[in-house]
Amino acid sequence: MPVLRSIFAVVRITLSGLPARWPMALSSVCGIALVVAVLLGFLAMAEGFTRSLTGAGSQDVAVIVGRGVRSEQMSALSPDAVQQIQAHAANAGIAWDRTSVERVRVASARRADGGTGTIVLRGVTPAAAPFRQNRRTSDGAQPPMPRGQDVVLGVAAARQLGVNTAGDTIRLGGQTWRVAAMVESGGTALESEAWVAADALAAAFPGELHVQSVRLPLAAGEVPAGLRAALTSDARLSVKIEREDRFFAAQSAGLAGMLRAFAWPLAIVMGLGALAGALNTMFTSVAARTQEIATLRAIGFGPGGTFLATFTEALVLALVGAGLGVGLAALLLGGRSGSTLAGGAAEVSFTYALTPGAIGAAFLFALLVGVLGGAWPALRAARQPILAGLNSDAQ
Amino acid sequence: MTTLWLAWRNLMRHRLRAVLMLFSVSIAFVLYGTLFGLNNLLGSGDVAGGRDLIVHHRANILQTLPAHYRDSVAQVPGIESIAAVSIIGGYVGERSNKVPTLMVDPAPYLAQNGEGIVLPAAQRADFLATRDAVIVDARTAQENRWSVGDRVVITSEISPHVDGGFDWPFRIAGIYTAAKPEDAITGAFGRIDYFNAAAAVGRDRVHWFAARTRDAAANERIVETVDARFANSEAETRTEPAAAMARAFLTQVVDFTLVIRLVVGAAFATILMIVGNTVALGVRQRRREFGVMRALGFGSRQVAAIVVAESLIVALFGALLGLTLSSMLLALMSAGITGTAPTLSSLPLGVLASGLGIAALFGTATALLPTYRAARISPAEAFSRS
């Protein structure tokens, strides 16, 4: 295919001249890189936050909270309601000792850095442990259940409080607790929680009889329709039952959606600026190659090759820019963790997560800038009159 | 004059290039103006800016404080009145039909919001006298077809009622309007004593205290005194100007100021490189011309001035264009938030002034290296080949 060969030749000649035009090329590359890095920063935060919350939920667990509640700590179930829920569970074949009744409070805590933060304080019974299979101490052992005035801290909560070793004492929710152990949970929101014994937490908030949630095991990965109907049709109850991972996913959706809704318009506006830069670079490149292009045309190369050569140069710059931007984002965000408020006023820490999907989207976005920024200058290059080009003095 | 004229003519020789530069500069200023304008819209942190302060939990505004702090704060010299406030949030019927509801100390809260809440005397007296009374703004009342005396149910999103559900029954005692449209407050106000009697959790805890001081000049001392009083207690406080409240809400989720500084910084860095390089290219391409000018008797300073003028023209025009655009965007946004007609004064003067300052700095910075090069061009360049 001689046509293809000649086109490739023009593309190769053009690209090999790129280093000579490096200052303008660099400005275009950096412009695209910064846009990509900013976009990825927001997407990585949204994704990291979502993962932290959804990772804390399981598809083998159902959680029952007050109807219309989006986060556990906003729920309130009276002692009577808990009994009725357990009766319905027993009818569905789940004995009461396999249900975990949990109290959830948000406690403020003095942070290690001197600021004031918030931590989820969860009052649990031994029944809570089987519902969280992936909690481990740092040496891989099953974490102990808190007894008396013990607290079992998630590692993110421990970091926030400046606790380094088991045996330290901390103050949370107006009480002093002894740190019994610290647990890891694969970077999920569970690591931001502090677990204490349910009766100790009840004693810390005298007079408040309500609990926040009840958990049940799920056999088939779905809430049994009969149980759901029994709970929602019971006139004495005002509750909802959801699979735990879905419940947490819904909780993260609001903030993650807000972040994404902010990220894309911002990236588009910044992308317009980068597009102007790319156009400028490519027009300059065409101007600098006036004689080169005219010479190639004069010795028999077609206008298609000239178009493609300039177009390819724009795409190469855009892709290099995107690669640089991804590298920058990975360097700045890799392994970095942040924390933000989730639904109910408690801080949840998360790790910025650069996903292949987000990186792919960023590359496509950069490519679009390259296509738009390359087409017009490439057209101009292809249409340039040969004789005038040969006579120009490379302005 | 000659310098400016020459700079202008030079720019117009590459019209497309000038337009592209102008466009990218204006994009950077659109981002700058809009984001910092939004930041200002969220309220300034100026403590002496007004007589209204809020005292909330140090951790964040959704954490609650013990209600008895009210008496302690009231004793701080310089405090004129103090009202406890608890959020119950809320909607009516459908979740989308929001009726944001605050439970407040009625007398001091009405006194502090004389412009935003205007009530007929009889309705006011009714609200002050009955525990399950609620007052709503005229628009909300109209949308829900409510009139005075109706019994209504507002469903809370965060505070369960002692009955077990989230439904809070009220009786409408009054329908209020605002003295001026810009003071309008949308939503409903109930009484905190009703909240304390009927809440399933968080009784005798409040989200914040609204305090009015006698003299804004004393605010700084009052803020320090209040926060010092509760230091090292179970619930430490942060006292802030009431105008900073929207920011306090947003900051819980993300450090907005830090984020916009990073974003605007990245935008300016990008544009600095694009424009700086383009100006430098222009100088490289005109070496011979500048040589001719030098041979004709132009001093190296005059040549340098032309280059600086070119990039200043681009920066200042771009800034004006971008700031105008962002002021329109802001007007649309604030109209969207408050539901009033857009006004064209939405860009805060401070943001406008520092924007133009940045443009001047930016123009000089982009011209720095090219100017240095241009000034060193000798008259002999006039005779060099290419």
Of B60, B158, B271, the CB nearest to A273: B271
Does the beta-carbon distance from B59 to A117 stay under 8 Å?
yes
The per-residue pLDDT for range A245-294, each reduced to its tens digit, is: 999 888 888 788 888 888 888 889 889 988 988 898 888 888 888 888 88
Question: What is the rounded average pLDDT for all residues in chain A?
Answer: 87
pLDDT of residue A103: 92
pTM across the whole model: 0.80
Please tell me the least confidently modeled range out of A37-46, A109-118, A251-260, A315-324: A109-118
Tokens 């219309």, residue? A68
The per-residue pLDDT for range A52-98, each reduced to its tens digit, is: 888 888 999 999 998 777 788 878 888 889 999 999 999 988 888 89
Q: Which residues does chain A have within 8 Å of residue B277's beta carbon, measured at their own beta carbons?
A: 23-24, 26-27
CA distance A379 to A310: 9
Please tell me the least confidently modeled range out of A179-188, A212-221, A283-292, B95-104: A283-292
Of B62, B234, B253, the CB nearest to A340: B253
Q: Which residues does chain A have within 8 Å of residue B57's beta carbon, measured at their own beta carbons?
A: 108, 116
CA distance A268 to A277: 14
More confident residue, A7 or B72: B72
Q: What is the dihedral of CA A393, B2, B4, B9, to 10 degrees?
A: -30
Is a pLDDT exceeding 80 seen at residue A115?
no
Nearest-10 crossing angle of helices B15-41, B300-338: 40
Gap between the terminal Cα atoms of chain B: 30
Does the beta-carbon distance from A34 to B269 stay under 8 Å?
yes
The per-residue pLDDT for range A91-108, each reduced to its tens digit, is: 988 888 899 999 988 888
pLDDT of residue A183: 94
CA distance A342 to A251: 7
Cα separations in angstroms, B215 against A188, A311, B52, B77, B110: 49, 67, 10, 11, 19
Does the beta-carbon distance from A68 to B62 stay under 8 Å?
no
- Kindly give the confidence (pLDDT) of every residue in chain B, 386 residues in length, as a single tens digit, with 9 standing for 90 and above: 588 888 888 888 888 889 998 998 999 999 999 888 887 777 655 666 678 899 988 877 778 899 999 999 999 999 999 999 998 878 898 878 889 899 999 999 999 998 889 999 999 999 999 999 999 999 999 999 999 999 999 998 778 888 777 889 999 999 999 888 777 888 899 999 999 999 887 788 899 999 999 988 888 899 999 999 988 777 888 898 887 776 766 666 667 778 888 888 888 888 888 888 888 888 888 888 888 888 888 888 888 888 889 889 999 999 999 999 998 888 887 766 555 555 545 677 888 888 889 889 988 888 888 888 888 888 887 777 65
| Interval A295-312 mean pLDDT | 86
Is a pLDDT exceeding 70 seen at residue A1?
no
When computed from its CA atoms, the radius of gyration of chain A, rounded to whole angstroms, is 30
Tokens 């408050």, residue? B338
pLDDT of residue A155: 92
Q: Which residues does chain B have within 8 Å of residue A78's beta carbon, measured at their own beta carbons?
A: 164, 200
Of B30, B62, B236, the CB nearest to A116: B236
Does the beta-carbon distance from A28 to B274 stay under 8 Å?
yes
Nearest-10 crossing angle of helices A225-233, A79-91: 150
Q: Is A153 helix (H, G, I), strand (E, B) or coil?
A: strand
Q: What is the dihedral of CA A192, A196, A198, A199, to 10 degrees?
A: -150
Q: Which residues does chain B have within 8 Å of residue A177's beta carbon, measured at their own beta carbons?
A: none
The per-residue pLDDT for range A308-358, each reduced to its tens digit, is: 888 999 999 999 999 999 999 999 888 788 777 765 557 788 889 999 999
CA distance A103 to A289: 72
ipTM of this complex: 0.75
Cβ-based neighbours of B117, under 8 Å, separated by 6 or more: B110, B135, B176, B178, B185, B189
With pLDDT > 90 as the criterion, what percentage of chain A qualifies?
A: 36
Most A CBs within 10 Å, among B273, B366, B385, to test the A interface: B273
pLDDT of residue A96: 85
Interchain contact A271–B (C-beta under 8 A): no
pLDDT of residue A342: 63
Does the beta-carbon distance from B273 to A74 stay under 8 Å?
no
Does the beta-carbon distance from B277 to A78 stay under 8 Å?
no
Q: Which residues does chain A have within 8 Å of residue B160's beta carbon, measured at their own beta carbons?
A: 66, 74-76, 210
